[in-house]
Structure 1
Amino acid sequence: MTAMYRIGVDVGGTNTDAAILDITALATPTRGVLATCKSVTTPDITSGIASAIGAVLDNVVAATGVTADAIKSRVLSVTIGTTHFVNALIEADSRRLARVAVVRLCGPFTRQIPPFTDFPVGLRRIMDGGTHYLDGGLEIDGREIAPLDPAQIAECVAAIREAGVSAVALVGVFSPLDHDGRHEEACKAQMLALDPSLDIVCSRGVGPPGLLERENATILNAAILATARRTIKGFKAAMRRLELGCALYLSQNDGTLIDADAAAEYPIKTFASGPTNSMTGAAFLAGLDKPKGLDLEDGATPAEEEQERHQVLVVDIGGTTTDVCALLPSGFPRQAPNFVEVGGVRTAFSMPEVVSIGLGGGSKILTDAAGNVTVGPDSVGHYLTEQALVFGGQTLTASDVVVASGKAQLGDPAKVSGVPQSTVQAGKKMIKQMLESVIEQMKVSAAPVHVLLVGGGSLLVIEDLDGVAKCTRPIHHDAANAVGAAIAKVAGEVDVIEILDGKDEKAVLASACDKAIKAAVDAGAAEDDVKIVAVDKIPLQYVHNRATRIVVKAVGRLAVPEMTAGTVSNVLSTGHDESEDTETEIAKVHVPDAAEPTNKPSLHVDIASYRPEVRDGTWYISEVDLELIATGTGILGTGGGGPSYHELLKGLQILRTGGNGKMRVVSPKSLNDSDIVCFGSWYGAPSVINERISSGTEISKGIDTLTKVMGIGPLAAVLNDEIGGGNGMSAFPTGCLYDIPVVDGDGMGRAYPTMYHVTMYVYGHPITPCCLTDAQGNISMIMHADSPTRVEGLLRTAAVELGLGCAACARPLEASIIKQYAVPNTISQSWYLGRAVHLARRSKTNLTEAIFDATPGKLLFSGKIVDVRRDVSGGYTMGSVLLAPLEGGEQDEAQQQKAPPAVTDRHHMVIPFQNEYLYAAWADASGAETGEVVCTVPDLISILGQDGEAVGSQELRYGLRVSVIGMPAHPLWKTDKGLAVGGPAGFGLNMPFKGVGEYSPPRSVIEEFGT
Structure 2
Amino acid sequence: MSMAGKLLIGVDVGGTNTDSVLMNPLALDSPNRGVLAWNKSATTSDVSDGIQKAIMSLMSDCPEIEKSHIASVTIGTTHFINAVIEQDEAKLEKVAVLRLSTNYSKYAPPFSDFPGGLRSVMEGYSAILTGGNRIDGNEVRPLDEEAVKTHAFKIKELGINAIVITGQFSPMYPAQEERAAAIIRKILPKANIVLSHTISTIGFIEREDASILNASIMTFARKIILSFKDAMKQIGLHCPVLLTQNDGTVVSTSEAMRTPVKTFSSGATNSMRGAATLCAKEKSIHGKPVIVADIGGTTTDVGLLLPSGFPRQSSAYSFIAGVRTNFSMPHVESIGLGGGSVVRIGNDVTIGPESTGAKILTEGLVFGGKTVTATDVTCAIGMEDDSIKDKELFGVGDFSKVKGKFSKDVKQKFSSELKKMLEAVIDRMKTSADPIPVVLVGGGSLIAPPELEGASSVFRPPFFGVVNAIGAAIGKVSASVQAIKKLDPTDSKDEILAGLKESAIAKAVSKGALKDSLVFDNIVANPIPYVPNTIQFIVKVIGDVDYHSMKYSQPIDNDDHDSEKSGGSVAKNSTFSSQKIIEHEVKFDVNSYKPFINTQGEWILSEVDCEFLRIGVYILGCGGGGTPYHYFLALRNMVRSGKLVRIIRPQDFHKYQQGDGAITAVGYAGSPTVGLEQLSGDEMIHAYDLIKKHTDVLPQASLPWEIGGGNGLTGLKIAGDLGIPCIDADFMGRAYPLLWQMIPVCYSTTPCFPPCALSDGNGTTLLLSEAISDVIVEQVFRASLSEIGAHCAMVSFMNGKDISDKSIFNTTSLAWRVGRAVHEARQNSEVEKLPEYIINACGGSKTAEKIFSGKIIRVERRTFKGHVYGEIDVKSEDSDSVMTIPFKNENIYCEVNQNGKKKVVASVPDLISVNDKETGEGLGTQDYRYGLHVFVIAICPSTKWTDTAEALKSGGPSAFGYEFGYESVGTYVAPFSVIDEYR
| TM-score range normalised by the length of the shorter chain | 0.7 to 0.9
Cα deviation code 1:484-518 (max 9, x no counterpart): 32344443333333333443112222333344445
Kept after mapping to 2: 8 A contact 1:919/1:936: yes
2:498 maps to 510
Tell me, in whole angstroms, the C-alpha distance in 1 between the residues paired with 2:642 and 2:613: 20
Query: Is 1:607 the equivalent of 2:593?
Result: no
Letter in 2 for 1:641: G
Q: Structure 1 residue aligned with 2:330, among 342, 349, 352?
A: 352
What amino acid is the match of 1:728?
A: G
User: Paired residue for 1:800?
Assistant: 786
Deviation at 1:161, TM superposition (A): 0.9
**Aligned match of 1:667:** 649
Correspondence 1:824 to 2:796: no
Give 1:193's aligned amino acid: K
Query: In the alignment, is the contact (CA less than 8 A) between 1:762 and 1:978 conserved in 2?
Result: yes
SS of residue paired to 1:658: coil
Query: Out of 276, 288, 291, which is 2:282 matched to?
Result: 291
> Is this contact kept in 2: 1:46–1:234, CA < 8 A?
yes
SS at match of 2:520: strand
- The yes-or-no answer on 1:836 pairing with 2:808 is no
Q: TM-score, normalised by structure 2?
A: 0.79
1:810 is paired with a residue whose SS is strand
Give per-residue Cα distances to partners, 1:245-297, cap 9 Å, x unaligned.
54432111122222332222111111111243245557877x7x872579xxx
From 916, 921, 942, the counterpart of 1:945: 916
**Separation of aligned partners in 2, 1:997 and 1:807:** 34
Q: Give the 3-state SS of the residue equivalent to 2:877 in structure 1.
A: helix
Go from structure 1 to structure 2 and tell me whether the alpha carbon gap of 1:598 and 1:35 turns closer, same or farther (over 3 Å shift). Answer: farther
CA contact (8 A) 1:344 1:597 kept: no
Take 1:440 and 1:152, find their aligned partners in 2: how far apart are those partners? Answer: 57
CA contact (8 A) 1:966 1:996 kept: no
**In the alignment, which residue of structure 2 is the partner of 1:678?**
664
1:269 to 1:587, Cα distance in 2 relative to 1, 3 A: closer
The DSSP-based 3-state class of the residue aligned with 2:780 is helix
Q: Does the alignment pair 1:338 with 2:328?
A: no
Relative to 1, partners in 2 of residues 1:577 and 1:335: Cα closer, same or farther, differing over 3 Å?
closer
Per-residue deviation, 1:775: 3.1
Helix, strand or coil for the counterpart of 1:690? Answer: helix
Match of 2:877 among 878, 896, 900: 896
- In the alignment, structure 1 residue 554 sits paired with structure 2 residue 541: yes
Residue 183 of structure 2 corresponds to residue 190 of structure 1: yes
Offset at residue 788 of structure 1 (A): 0.8
1:124 equivalent in alignment to 2:119: yes
2:295 and 2:338 in contact (8 A); partners too:
no
CA distance in 2, matches of 1:629, 1:354: 28
Contact persistence 1:663–1:736 (CA under 8 A)? yes
843, 850, 864: which one aligns with 2:856: 864
Match of 2:263 among 259, 263, 270: 270
Does the residue aligned with 2:316 lie in a helix, a strand or coil? coil
Equivalence for 1:690? 676
Q: Would you say the 8 A contact 1:250–1:257 is kept in 2?
A: yes
1:961-972 correspondence runs (5 A):
961-972=933-944
The answer to whether the Cα contact below 8 Å between 1:881 and 1:910 also exists between their aligned partners in 2 is yes
- Tell me: CA distance 1:448–1:867, structure 2 relative to 1, closer, same or farther (3 Å): closer
Residue 759 of structure 2, aligned match among 768, 773, 780: 773
Distance 2:854 2:186 in 1: 57
**CA deviation after TM superposition for structure 1 residue 986, in Å:** 3.2
Q: Distance in 2 between matches of 1:118 and 1:800?
A: 30
Q: Which moved more, 1:706-715 or 1:342-351?
A: 706-715
Counterpart of 1:633 (choices 593, 612, 617) is 617
Shift of 1:554: 3.1
Say whether residues 1:326 and 2:302 are aligned partners.
yes
Matched, 1:492 2:494: no
CA pair 996-474 structure 1, distance change in 2 beyond 3 A: farther
1:483 equivalent to 2:470? Answer yes
Q: TM-score, normalised by structure 1?
A: 0.77
Q: Is the 8 A contact 2:294 2:441 kept in 1?
A: yes
Per-residue deviation at 1:123?
A: 1.8
Select the residue among 222, 227, 247 that pairs with 1:234.
227
| Deviates further, 110-119 or 5-14 | 5-14
Residue 349 of structure 2 corresponds to none
Amino acid at match of 1:645: Y
**Per-residue Cα deviation, 1:555-574 (whole angstroms, up to 9, x for no partner):** 345568699xxx97843463
Q: C-alpha displacement at 1:822, in angstroms?
A: 1.1
In 2, are the aligned partners of 1:78 and 1:249 still within 8 Å (CA)?
Answer: yes
Q: What stretches of structure 1 of length at least 5 have no aligned partner? A: 295-305, 363-374, 378-396, 411-435, 462-470, 886-894
Counterparts of 2:426 and 2:810, CA distance in 1: 31
Task: State how far apart, in whole Å, the 1-side matches of 2:508 and 2:965 are.
Answer: 50
Q: Is the 8 A contact 1:769 1:784 kept in 2?
A: yes
> 1:404-448: CA deviations, max 9, x gaps?
7877479xxxxxxxxxxxxxxxxxxxxxxxxx9xx9999879999
Structure 1 residues 519 and 675, CA gap change in structure 2 (3 angstroms): same
Alpha-carbon distance change, 609 to 557 in structure 1, aligned in 2, over 3 angstroms? farther
Contact kept, 8 Å, 1:640 with 1:916, in 2: the verdict is yes
CA distance in 1, matches of 2:849, 2:217: 48
Asked if structure 2 preserves the Cα contact closer than 8 Å seen for 1:248 and 1:259, the reply is: yes
State the 1:793 CA deviation: 2.5
Please give the root-mean-square deviation of Cα atoms over the aligned residues, in Å.
4.5
- Say if 1:120 and 1:593, in contact at 8 Å, map to a contact too: no
Residue correspondence of structure 1 range 439-478 to structure 2 within 5 A: none
Q: Give the corresponding residue for 2:193.
A: 200
**Separation (CA, whole Å) in 2 of partners of 1:312 and 1:610:** 42
Say whether the 8 Å CA contact 1:612–1:1009 is kept in structure 2.
Answer: no
Give the deviation of 1:86 after TM superposition.
Answer: 0.8
Give 1:646's aligned residue: 630
Tell me how far apart the structure 2 counterparts of residues 339 and 533 of structure 1 sit (CA, whole Å): 20
Deviation at 1:644, TM superposition (A): 1.0
Equivalent AA in structure 1 for residue 647 of structure 2? V
- Structure 1 pair 233–499 and aligned structure 2 pair: CA distance change class (3 A): farther
Q: Pick from 7, 14, 24: which aligns with 2:9?
A: 7
Question: SS at 2:103's partner residue?
Answer: coil
Match of 1:302 in 2: none
Structure 2 portions without partners, runs of 5+: 341-352, 370-416, 431-436, 448-457, 843-847
Note the 1:514-533 alignment, pairs <5 A: 514-525=502-513, 527-533=515-521
In 2 relative to 1, CA 711–845 (structure 1 residues): closer, same or farther, beyond 3 Å? same
> Aligned partners of 2:270 and 2:429: how far apart in 1?
24
8 Å Cα contact 2:756-2:794 kept in structure 1: yes
**Bigger Cα displacement from structure 2, 192-201 vs 353-362:** 353-362
Q: Distance in 2 between matches of 1:339 and 1:34?
A: 39
Deviates more, 1:240-249 or 1:631-640: 240-249
Q: Which residue of 2 aligns with 1:883?
A: 873
**Equivalent residue for 2:705?**
721
**Secondary structure at the residue paired with 1:16?**
strand
Tell me the equivalent position of 2:530. Answer: 542
After superposition, the Cα gap between the structure-2 partners of 1:257 and 1:692, relative to the gap in structure 1 and judged at 3 Å, is: same
Measured in 2, the distance between the counterparts of 1:527 and 1:922 equals 49
Residue 818 of structure 1, CA deviation: 1.6
2:97 matches 1:102: yes
Task: Give the direction of change, closer, same or farther, for the CA distance of 1:527–1:568 in structure 2 (3 Å limit).
Answer: closer
1:918 and 2:910 matched: no
Q: Evaluate the alpha carbon distance shift between residue 399 and residue 131 of structure 1 in structure 2; reply closer, same or farther with a 3 A threshold.
A: same
CA drift at 1:192: 1.5
Residue 944 of structure 1 contacts residue 950 of structure 1 at CA under 8 Å; is this kept in 2? yes
**SS state of the match for residue 689, structure 1?**
helix
CA pair 624-568 structure 1, distance change in 2 beyond 3 A = closer
Q: Percent identity, please.
A: 35
Cα deviation code 1:319-360 (max 9, x no counterpart): xxx776333598986753421111221111231245899999
Shift of 1:5: 4.1
- Indicate the residue corresponding to 1:16 in structure 2: 18
- Quote the offset at 1:921 in angstroms: 4.7
For the 8 Å contact 1:912–1:919, the answer to whether it is kept is yes
